[in-house]
């Protein structure tokens, strides 16, 4: 059980910083790992009588160095971010004088192209999904909505009945930092949702003021957490997607729920959608995050360039203009 400082940090994340449940869990996990590391290597428990004031940049460097083997640089960056945020909180409440993580640099993130399915493979995969029983209708609605609206899996499993407007073709999403956005839902996803809702049972086990407060997607037993009121879990969605891909005759590649989101953004970009509009639909705080998708496939841009740019046109006609310059 964590003591006072960590407990107050968690409450601050939830109440003052509007952090999502996933962020709170991730930060708590990293701070607990740091505490265990300090107990083992320094022989002091910062949540005990020793306090966090003895922690130095050297302690944190050793902690991060121990994290490097076998972990992606992005994972180590997240660990440093959590630790830095934690010590910023301790400075604010007067627990420590200065943030020992403030001057530490994160390892350079490796730039990997996002995983996604080409348009024809995605269309074939979604068209092949069975929808002959309530569970299959639910699964089809989940996957259609992930791809149609580019939702994070955490956003999808948090949806309530009241968040979806089938007549309006929109879904109200609560994203990171509890920021709310309204995202369009395509016609095919709307049809899949209608099919699912026609057989969706009432939620069992939760205490809801109204049916519209129930989770949109329930687990196979239709039960929800009595305290959390949650329906299907993100892990179950990932497992269901993996099983659906394994059973698809036209697709033999791995794709995570986040890969469905990547596919949504990539296909919009390839179709000429405005990057700012994609940013708004994805709920990205920074345009630079959305711009990663611009690196995925620029073949359509090259084709447009060669048709429109005068020097490119000369080159494609035999290169005489290029040689004479």
User: Residue 319's pLDDT is what?
Assistant: 47
- 27 part of the active site: no
Based on the residue annotation, tell me whether 8 is a catalytic residue of this protein.
Answer: no
What pLDDT does residue 191 have?
Answer: 96
- The Cβ-side half-sphere exposure at 283, using a 13 Å CA radius, reads 21
Q: Which helix (H) or strand (E) holds 23?
A: helix 21-41
* Helix/strand/coil (H/E/C) assignment for every residue in 227-263: CCCCCCCHHHHHHHHHHHHHCCCCCCCCCCHHHHHHH
Active site residue 300: no
The answer to whether 205 touches 224, Cβ cutoff 8 Å, is yes
Among residues 59, 152, 262, 267, which one is catalytic? 152
| Residue from 8, 258, 292, 315 carrying the catalytic annotation | 258
Catalytic residue among 17, 78, 284, 315: 284
Alpha helices in 42-101 (DSSP H): 57-67, 73-92
Answering whether pTM is above 0.75, one says no
For residue 21, what are its two tokens? 């449940």
Eight-state DSSP code of residue 98 = S
The answer to whether residue 323 is catalytic is: no
Residue 269's Cβ-count burial label (10 Å; 0-12, 13-18, 19+) is buried
Q: What angle do CA 112, 119, 287 make, to 5 degrees?
A: 45
Of the residues 176, 227, 254, 325, which is catalytic? Answer: 176
User: What domains are defined for the chain?
Assistant: 4-92 (1.10.150), 119-300 (1.10.443.10)
d(CA 250, CA 117): 11
List 35, 138, 261, 262, catalytic entry: 261
3-state SS, residue 175: coil
* Burial (CB count <10 Å: 0-12, 13-18, 19+), residue 214: buried
Per-residue pLDDT of the chain (325 residues; tens, 9 = 90+): 455 899 999 999 988 777 778 888 899 999 999 999 999 999 999 998 889 999 999 999 999 888 777 667 778 888 999 999 999 999 999 999 999 999 888 766 555 655 788 899 999 999 999 989 999 999 999 999 999 999 999 999 999 999 999 999 999 999 887 889 999 999 999 999 999 999 998 888 777 888 899 999 998 777 776 556 678 989 999 999 999 988 876 665 788 899 999 899 889 888 888 888 888 899 888 887 777 766 555 555 556 566 676 665 555 445 444 444 4
Please confirm, yes or no, whether 293 is among the known catalytic residues: yes
Let me know: does 117 contact 73? Beta carbons within 8 Å.
no
- Active site (annotated) includes residue 194: no
């Amino acid at each position: 059980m964590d003591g006072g400082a960590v407990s107050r940090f968690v409450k601050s994340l939830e109440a003052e910083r509007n952090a999502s449940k996933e962020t709170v869990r991730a930060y708590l996990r990293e701070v607990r790992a740091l505490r265990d590391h300090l107990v083992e290597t320094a022989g002091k428990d910062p949540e005990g009588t020793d306090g966090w004031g003895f922690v130095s940049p050297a302690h944190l460097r050793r902690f991060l160095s121990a994290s490097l083997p076998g972990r992606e640089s992005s994972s180590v960056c997240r660990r440093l971010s959590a630790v830095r945020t934690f010590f910023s909180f301790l400075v604010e409440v007067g627990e420590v004088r200065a943030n020992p993580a403030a001057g530490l640099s994160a390892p350079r993130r490796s730039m990997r192209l996002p995983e996604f399915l080409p348009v024809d493979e995605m269309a074939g995969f979604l068209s092949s999904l069975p929808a002959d029983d309530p569970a299959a209708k639910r699964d089809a609605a989940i996957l259609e909505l992930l791809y149609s609206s580019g939702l994070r899996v955490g956003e999808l499993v948090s949806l309530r009945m009241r968040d979806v407007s089938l007549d309006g073709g929109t879904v109200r999403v609560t994203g990171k930092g509890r920021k709310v956005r309204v995202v369009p839902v395509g016609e095919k996803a709307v049809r899949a949702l209608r099919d699912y809702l026609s057989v969706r049972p009432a939620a069992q086990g939760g205490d809801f003021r109204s049916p519209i407060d129930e989770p949109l997607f329930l687990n196979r037993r239709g039960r929800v957490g009595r305290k959390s009121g949650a329906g299907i879990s993100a892990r179950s969605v990932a497992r269901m997607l993996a099983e659906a891909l394994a059973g698809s005759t036209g697709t033999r590649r791995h794709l995570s729920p986040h890969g469905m989101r990547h596919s949504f953004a990539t296909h919009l970009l390839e179709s000429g959608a405005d990057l700012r509009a994609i940013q708004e639909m994805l709920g990205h705080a920074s345009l630079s995050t959305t711009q990663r998708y611009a690196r995925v496939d620029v073949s359509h841009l090259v084709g447009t360039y060669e048709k429109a740019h005068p020097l490119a046109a000369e080159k494609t006609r035999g290169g005489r203009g290029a040689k004479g310059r």
